[in-house]
Structure 1
Amino acid sequence: MTPSDLIAMNMRLATLMVETGTVMNLRLLGMAGALPARRGETRRMVDEKASVAAQSYMAASTAMMAGKPPLAIYEAALKPVSSKVSANRKRLSKL
């Protein structure tokens, strides 16, 4: 693992943190009635957690069993979470 690998990993994690904060704020504002929210958004928010956690676990486990290096395992675990958060941010920003 090179220093540039660590920097790239931290940038992806920082992006995830910012997008997660945005999604949380948009959802809270929707629940409070300050922003329009789609019907069932709260239920969707709860339901997607288990699915994404399972996808993340399976991706990391598969990478680990394949003998991948730690960075590849980390990235495999992060990919489903990042994809879902990014999709949620885009979808919620359009409301």
Structure 2
Amino acid sequence: MKHPSPADIATLWVSYATLITEAHSVVAYRLMGMGGAWSVPRGENHAMLREKGPAFTEAMVASTMTAIKGGAPDKIMAAAIKPLSKKARSNRKRLARRGPTTLRLSK
């Protein structure tokens, strides 16, 4: 097994930091949506529960297959991060486009 270089570790760290940032943004949009401050689609609360199983299963399978093939630890971790990052990024972009809810003040 090849040991990861410092550049490999840095690349992995950036991927992980990006995933964390994307996930936190999605959580923020969804919480604002629950509070009525952000426009979210009907059923968003159920969607966030439904997507977890398939996303984590895909990450587990990808990392397991990389490990079985003899991948280095950084490659195994990168394989796990990739599908989660893809889902988090698409959710962030989708929710960000919706924008804040327009508040209506009653007279």
The TM-score, its normalising length taken from structure 1, stands at 0.96
The letter of the residue matching 2:92 is: R
TM superposition outliers: structure 1 runs of 4+ over 3 Å: none
Q: Report 1:61-80 matches (<5 A).
A: 61-80=64-83
Aligned with residue 84 of structure 2, among 81, 86, 95? 81
Say whether 1:21 aligns with 2:24.
yes
Partner residue in 2 for 1:33:
36
Taking only the aligned residue pairs, the percentage that are identical comes to: 36
Say whether 1:60 aligns with 2:72.
no
For the aligned residue pairs, the C-alpha RMSD in angstroms reads 0.8
Cα shift at 1:14: 1.0
Cα shift at 1:94: 0.7
| Structure 1 residues not aligned, in runs of 5+ | none
Q: Which has the higher contact order (CA 8 A, sep 6+)?
A: 2
Cα shift at 1:67: 1.1
- CA–CA distance in structure 2, aligned partners of residues 60 and 33 of structure 1: 38
Give the total of aligned pairs: 95
- CA–CA distance in structure 2, aligned partners of residues 11 and 33 of structure 1: 33
